[in-house]
Amino acid sequence: MPVDPTRRTAPPPASAPVRALLGRAIPLLCFGLSALGCDQARVLRHTAAIDGAFGAAEVGEQEDDLHVTKGDELRRIDLLGRPLDTYPSGDKRLRLVDLDERDLAKGPKAYVTDGAGLWRVLQDEVELLIDVDDVDLRAVALIDGGLVTLELDPEDGCALKWHDSAVVETARVLLPGAACAEGALLRADRSNGDAFVVTLTGVWAATPGFTPFTWPQGGNLAAFDPAVGAVVIGTRRDTELRAWSVIGEELWYQDLGEPLIEIDDMGALGALGVLSSRGEGGRIILLDTAGGEPLTAEDLPVAPVGLSAGRSGARLALRLDAELHVFDVDLEAR
């Protein structure tokens, strides 16, 4: 059955042709390939459609809460697209790194880079944590009680550095220069600080105080899944995904047969959100991170741009060229 967002609670008006196409004409379909063992369960439910070309979108854990970048601004918006908070950066290279929502009584903290450094945003407070005039910052990942950075140090070369909540360095592990290649990705286990650096030429997994593990199967897509303690890696326009442990053990392999666009972990849900292209459109696929098996999928009649999942696994945000669509996720509906 097609999903009609106009029958949801307080949806935005369905005026744009693409919105109408997504909201009324997307059947929640499975692969149709029995070899993958995928069903036709109604797991994804269209919740909202928001006009706008967003550079990034992160799903918050508060109800009706999204963080997005648009031009030179970071915005926190509701599911009608109305701004709850707006933070101008003055630099159009602004990139949303992550959200920290452990203390929601004070509001969610957003971490962004803007070409001049790493910033922490909390309600009306904006704090510069790392200035790129002092540090060649390549990537950042949040962990409990602090953060991990990938830096090209003028003395030590490429280094992973662990910091406490005051951004005081507590540990570092040196890596070969190739790990600091342009576009390097950094993913981390928030609970224990294990860090994964992913490039097209290889992967480095490190824990403070130990020699890092490395293996050659890299990529430019990566997501850390806390439910199984593994990093999932793929390459855009390729069709394959692999999951690895922190010691370089391959846990599973899956060839989806469709070019990959984006992947994101769904937190404690134990699922991976995958965005792929298919003909002139695309597909949202949910994989079980324990073994890489497809759980369900949804065909998209238009070309997608990006995908983001909340840490509870309860919501997905899908970016198109000029719209943002939100889906609620219910794996119990399978």
For residue range 150-209, what is the model confidence (pLDDT) as tens digits? Answer: 998 888 899 999 999 888 999 999 999 999 999 999 999 999 999 999 999 999 999 988
Q: Does residue 298 sit within a domain?
A: yes
Band the pLDDT of 107: cuts 50, 70, 90. Answer: low
Number of domains in the chain: 1
Q: Which of 93, 105, 95, 58 is nearest to 77 (CA)?
A: 58
- Calculate mean pLDDT across residues 79-95: 68
DSSP3 helix / strand / coil % (the chain, rounded to 5) = 5, 50, 45
Q: Does residue 328 sit within a domain?
A: yes
Angle at 43 between CA 275 and CA 311, to 5 degrees: 65
Q: Do residues 173 and 160 make contact, with C-beta atoms less than 8 angstroms apart?
A: yes
Q: Do residues 215 and 201 make contact, with C-beta atoms less than 8 angstroms apart?
A: no
Q: What is the pLDDT of residues 201-258, one digit of tens each?
A: 999 999 988 889 999 999 999 999 998 999 999 999 999 999 999 999 999 999 999 9
- Containing structural domain, residue 307: 5-134+219-333
Q: pLDDT value at position 95?
A: 64
Q: Which of 73, 129, 130, 65 is nearest to 99 (CA)?
A: 65
Q: pLDDT value at position 51?
A: 92
- Calculate mean pLDDT across residues 33-43: 44
Look at residue 321 and tell me whether its pLDDT is greater than 70. Answer: yes
| Cα 261 from Cα 241, distance rounded (Å) | 12
Band the pLDDT of 13: cuts 50, 70, 90. Answer: very low
| Cα 147 from Cα 143, distance rounded (Å) | 5
Ordered DSSP codes for 142-192: EETTEEEEEEEETTTEEEEEEEETT--EEEEEE--GGGG-TT-EEEE-TTT
Q: Does residue 156 sit within a domain?
A: no
Q: pLDDT value at position 130?
A: 79
3-class secondary-structure state, position 22: helix
Q: pLDDT value at position 166?
A: 87
Q: Does residue 291 sit within a domain?
A: yes
The model's pTM is 0.82
3-class secondary-structure state, position 267: helix
Cα end-to-end distance, the chain, whole Å? 15
Q: pLDDT value at position 134?
A: 74
H/E element, 118 = strand 117-122
Q: Does residue 236 sit within a domain?
A: yes
| Cα 69 from Cα 201, distance rounded (Å) | 30
Tokens of 284: 């949202």
Q: Which residues of 118-132 are buried (b: 16+ CB within 10 A; e: fewer)?
A: bbbbeeeeeeebbee
The residue ranking higher by pLDDT, 83 or 290, is: 290
Name the DSSP letter for residue 62. Answer: S
Q: Do residues 48 and 8 make contact, with C-beta atoms less than 8 angstroms apart?
A: yes
Q: Does residue 60 sit within a domain?
A: yes
Rounded mean pLDDT of the chain?
80
Q: pLDDT value at position 219?
A: 97
Q: Which residues contact 201 (CB under 8 A, 6 or more apart)?
A: 178, 181, 216, 218
Q: Do residues 317 and 324 make contact, with C-beta atoms less than 8 angstroms apart?
A: yes
Q: Report the CATH number at residue 66.
A: 2.120.10
Q: Does residue 144 sit within a domain?
A: no
Q: Do residues 282 and 303 make contact, with C-beta atoms less than 8 angstroms apart?
A: yes
Q: Does residue 189 sit within a domain?
A: no
- Calculate mean pLDDT across residues 108-118: 67
